Amino acid sequence: MRASLDDPRQWLQELFRIAVAAADPRQALISHLPRDTHRRAIVIGAGKAAAAMASALERHWVGEVSGLVIVPSGHALPCERIEVVEAAHPIPDERGALAVHRILELVKDLNPTDLVICLLSGGGSALLSLPAPGITLTEKQAINRHLLHCGATIDDINCVRKHLSSIKGGRLARACQPAQLITYTISDVPGDHASVIASGPTVPDPTTSAEALALLRRYRVTLPAHIVAWLEAPTSESLKAGDPAFSRSAFHLIATPHLSLQAAACAARDTGIEILLLGDDLEGEARDVARTQAALALALHGDTHTRPCLILSGGETTVTVHGAGRGGRNTEFLLSLAIEVAGASGIYALAADTDGIDGTQDNAGAVLTPATWQRAHHLGLDATAMLADNDSYNFFAAVEELVVTGPTRTNVNDFRAVLVLPE
């Protein structure tokens, strides 16, 4: 690492850059491509990394290649042979639905000698939004919006999405038959489950329509009668293991949260620091996860025998929105952490999303230093009230500690690093 512990803020930001670089699709994809790249390939896909993956594939694919991938607004990259279409995220829009129609046209009426390459990454579920028959995009948008604001986990959200979709839950694999299908994926979900990443459009789905309906009722989503009827009908069921749709299908993970955390951990160890790796699959309310990690950091800080220590974790926390403020799960985590450590000297932290966008804001996350608390007090900020209002973005904007990277065009979920330096 170029940065040293003499500048903890810069040191943490460099660790974040190392974690993101480990998931760069321009490097990760190449080693997974088949040996024979002279064949004609139809390329489809969606997600925050889809344009970068498509660009890398174009540069290394010798044969004819064409197709279409969907990315969130602001995540496009110029490609010569593969079309890149922007659509809304995390709430789907008409642009995404129209693009999915075009993808289905591209894979229609193929034969066994054809090859389809599907490029998937985080964000793909919202972008691949083509509602099931009889369900409108407006209805699906309302359900997505409710689930995103009520603290539903990504697994629960994707279970619902799959059973209200014409393409998710393995249905895209069925549409590609009888062609050969290869899926390359960058994971952004805890556990790296193939059926959860982008709601698994090309893989078997273990969840059921009955589970989706139960989740919607648990999260108190008001449902029109025709959506209830759809979920109760056998035709709403996703594709299961053993379905003929997967007989000529292969799936490859090319980057994961674990690999990115390990890259950061290795870089930190080179500076002689102790590492506590809590895992790449942490879930739960962001503020509660922060309280747990704050208690650990304070305990380490109070131990006179402790050498410099870094607490690393990944995963995807949730935020149940009660207030009217702005923020994402990473700034909410960090604001809760700030309240707990209350400016303790020697405790620094960074929390950021590897895609460069924390929630729907323009920042990846934020940094916390001992001076942050004093600066907030000087500015008259009430951190507890701002956390209650879910206004973490404006807290860190006021103290000038936002981390702004712009879209990174990859996504292996959240990166959290809490640095504890001895007195």
Helices within 108-220 (DSSP H only):
124-127, 137-149, 154-163, 171-176, 209-218
What percent of the chain lies above the pLDDT cut of 70? 99
pTM for the model stands at 0.90
Beta strands across the sheet bearing 414-420: 274-277, 309-315, 414-420, 347-353, 365-368, 402-403
> Do 200 and 120 touch, CB atoms closer than 8 A?
no
For residue 199, which amino acid is it? S
- The class that CATH gives domain 8-20+258-420 is alpha beta
Decide if pLDDT at 393 tops 70. Answer: yes
Look at 86 and 422; give whichever has higher pLDDT.
86
What is the band of 305 on the pLDDT scale with cuts at 50, 70, 90? low
CA–CA separation, 282 and 285 (whole Å)? 10
* pLDDT tens, residue by residue, 32-85: 999 999 999 999 999 999 999 999 999 999 999 999 999 999 999 999 999 999
What angle (nearest 5°) sits at the alpha carbon of residue 412, between those of residues 328 and 221? 50
Provide the token pair at 184: 């390359």
Helix, strand, or coil (residue 422): coil
Residue with tokens 């329509």, as numbered in its chain? 209
Residue with tokens 């989740």, as numbered in its chain? 215
To the question of domain 24-255 being in CATH 3.40.50.10180, the answer is yes
Predicted confidence at residue 26, as pLDDT, reads 83
CA–CA separation, 279 and 145 (whole Å)? 29
Helix, strand, or coil (residue 362): coil
Helices within 194-352 (DSSP H only):
209-218, 225-232, 257-269, 286-302, 329-341
Predicted confidence at residue 359, as pLDDT, reads 86
Predicted confidence at residue 86, as pLDDT, reads 97
* Residue whose C-alpha is closest to residue 43's, from 19, 3, 70: 70
What is the band of 360 on the pLDDT scale with cuts at 50, 70, 90? confident
24-255 shares the fold of 8-20+258-420: no
* Residue whose C-alpha is closest to residue 12's, from 271, 350, 401: 350
Predicted confidence at residue 265, as pLDDT, reads 97
* pLDDT tens, residue by residue, 160-172: 999 999 999 999 9
For the chain, the structural domain boundaries read 8-20+258-420, 24-255
What is the band of 383 on the pLDDT scale with cuts at 50, 70, 90? very high
* Residue whose C-alpha is closest to residue 405's, from 360, 367, 354: 354
Decide if pLDDT at 384 tops 70. Answer: yes
